[in-house]
């Protein structure tokens, strides 16, 4: 069933807006992210996010009211063919709804911190799925922001939106050009910083986590960059009781963040 707004001829991959869609699908356009599917769009519509372009496929669209609502918010609206939809879609079922949305721009100097702020720093994140899950975890623990250093995964990768459950649109994500500048920012704002290191002798249960707290987690492949170890921050570990020597980075981050949140709020 077609959406209830004026119909237009479908565009193809060679149309300028068709090429723009393919570029965003490849996460090659900074600041823009691909959103597709009914649930994903419901999350998008619940935020003030700017929707640059909305594409719908009338042949498979089963959510005319949702499509009309997206169209009313979008700056441009185009109909696409099933062929282009199949080429662009990253899902087995997209509901014929695809948008190009603007990621919010977060600046460190604009972040409002409290006396008990909680921050997660992720160093060298390699996979979009992990990045999205870290963003979702930061939101779930009501941490103030996610700080990225030496990141490899791009925040505008479509998989980040899916893994974060749309929280990439509302969770502050700060990126620093160097580990030294990130460490300087943490010191400037008087954070007690804990490096998550499987080799550390101190358990994550030992600190009191009062005041401003930050955890630094590394990539699953290489762990924390040596530059973080050279900063002189404290180290904590999560005891491993089985044969594995470490946990998934997002799971580790969740354990650490919720432990600190529980201490701060007296759970």
Long-range contacts of the stretch 73-77 (C-beta < 8 A, 24+): 73/45, 74/99, 75/50, 75/51, 76/17, 76/52, 77/5, 77/8, 77/53
Whole domain around residue 128: which residue ranges?
108-265
Based on the domain organization, do 152 and 227 belong to the same domain? Answer: yes
Would 10 be classed as within a structural domain? no
Would 172 be classed as within a structural domain? yes
Predicted TM-score of the model (pTM): 0.91
* pLDDT value for 260: 97
pLDDT tens for the chain, 267 residues long, are 445 555 567 888 899 999 999 999 988 899 999 999 999 999 999 999 999 999 999 888 888 889 999 999 999 999 998 899 999 998 877 789 999 999 999 999 999 999 999 999 999 999 999 999 999 999 999 999 999 999 889 999 999 999 999 999 999 999 999 999 999 999 999 999 999 998 888 899 999 999 999 999 998 777 889 999 999 999 999 988 887 777 789 999 999 999 999 999 988
Based on the domain organization, do 134 and 230 belong to the same domain? Answer: yes
Nearest-5° angle of CA 63, CA 66, CA 70?
135
Into how many domains does the chain fold? 2
Based on the domain organization, do 175 and 226 belong to the same domain? Answer: yes
* pLDDT value for 1: 47
Selection from 41, 85, 81 nearest residue 65 by Cα: 41
Based on the domain organization, do 117 and 97 belong to the same domain? Answer: no
Token readout for 134 is 């870290």
Based on the domain organization, do 112 and 86 belong to the same domain? Answer: no
Nearest-5° angle of CA 177, CA 173, CA 185?
50
User: Are residues 253 and 205 in contact, defined by beta-carbon separation less than 8 angstroms?
Assistant: no
């Amino acid at each position: 069933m077609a959406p209830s707004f004026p119909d237009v001829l479908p565009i193809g991959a060679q149309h300028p807006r068709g090429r723009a869609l393919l570029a965003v699908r490849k996460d090659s356009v900074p600041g823009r992210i691909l959103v597709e599917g009914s649930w994903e769009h419901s999350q998008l519509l619940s935020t003030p996010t700017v929707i640059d372009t909305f594409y719908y496929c009338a042949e498979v669209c089963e959510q005319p009211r949702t499509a009309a609502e997206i169209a009313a918010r979008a700056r441009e609206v185009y109909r696409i063919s099933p062929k282009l939809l199949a080429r662009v879609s990253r899902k087995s079922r997209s509901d014929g709804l695809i948008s190009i949305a603007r990621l919010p721009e977060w600046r460190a100097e604009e972040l409002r911190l409290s006396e008990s702020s909680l921050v997660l720093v992720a160093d060298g994140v390699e996979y979009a799925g992990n990045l999205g899950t870290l963003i979702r975890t930061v939101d779930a623990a009501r941490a103030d922001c996610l700080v990225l250093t030496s990141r490899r995964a791009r925040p505008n990768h479509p998989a980040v939106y899916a893994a974060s459950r749309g929280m990439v649109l509302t969770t502050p994500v700060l990126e620093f050009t160097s580990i030294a500048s990130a460490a300087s920012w943490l010191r400037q704002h008087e954070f007690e910083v804990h490096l998550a290191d499987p080799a550390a002798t101190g358990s994550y249960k030992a600190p009191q986590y009062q005041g401003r707290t930050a955890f630094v987690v590394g990539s699953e492949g290489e762990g924390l960059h040596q530059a973080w170890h050279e900063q002189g921050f404290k180290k904590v570990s999560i005891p491993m009781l089985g044969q594995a020597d470490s946990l998934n980075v997002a799971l580790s981050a969740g354990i650490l963040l919720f432990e600190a949140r529980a201490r701060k709020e007296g759970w």
